[in-house]
Amino acid sequence: DTGVSQDPRHKITKRGQNVTFRCDPISEHNRLYWYRQTLGQGPEFLTYFQNEAQLEKSRLLSDRFSAERPKGSFSTLEIQRTEQGDSAMYLCASSLVVGTDTQYFGPGTRLTVL
């Protein structure tokens, strides 16, 4: 099964450190999305790419967050100078812009900032 994969699955860091997460979408999927989920809440949209172009960013994505998708394949999400409020599950999804463009999610990366 070549679903969406994310790495690492868990990350514990100290406040002020930088962290980077990776997402590998389903092969041939040209859209890739990042969401964040805090405890007890549903996922919230952060940003999305169509191929290598970042087309939309939520206001939740502060200046400390940056996402890239070089060559339109895998994507990385970097958080600089982490804060305790960044502790959350970071979810990646991908879709194929054909038909109804259904999004399929990865298992997520759980970030804990101490």
Binding stretches for another protein (CB under 8 A): 4, 31, 33, 35, 40-45, 48, 55-56, 58, 89, 91, 93, 100-108, 110
Smallest separation (angstroms) from another protein to the CB of 79: 19
Q: Does residue 71 sit in helix, strand or coil? A: helix
Q: Kindly state the smallest distance separating residue 16's Cβ from another protein, in Å.
A: 26
User: CB of residue 52 vs another protein: minimum separation in angstroms?
Assistant: 16
* CA-based torsion, 83, 85, 89, 93: positive or negative: negative
Taking CA atoms, 68 is separated from 14, 38, 39, 53, 54, in Å, by 23, 22, 26, 9, 8
Report the nearest approach of another protein to the CB of residue 81 (Å). 26
- Please give the C-alpha separations between residue 38 and each of 3, 55, 102, 110, in angstroms, as whole numbers: 23, 24, 23, 10
Q: Is the CB of 70 or the CB of 99 nearer to another protein?
A: 99
In angstroms, the Cα distances linking 23 to 7, 99, 100 are 7, 23, 22
CB nearer to another protein: pick between 4 and 77: 4
Which of residues 9 and 81 has its CB atom nearest to another protein in the complex?
A: 9
For another protein, give the closer residue by CB, 79 or 91: 91
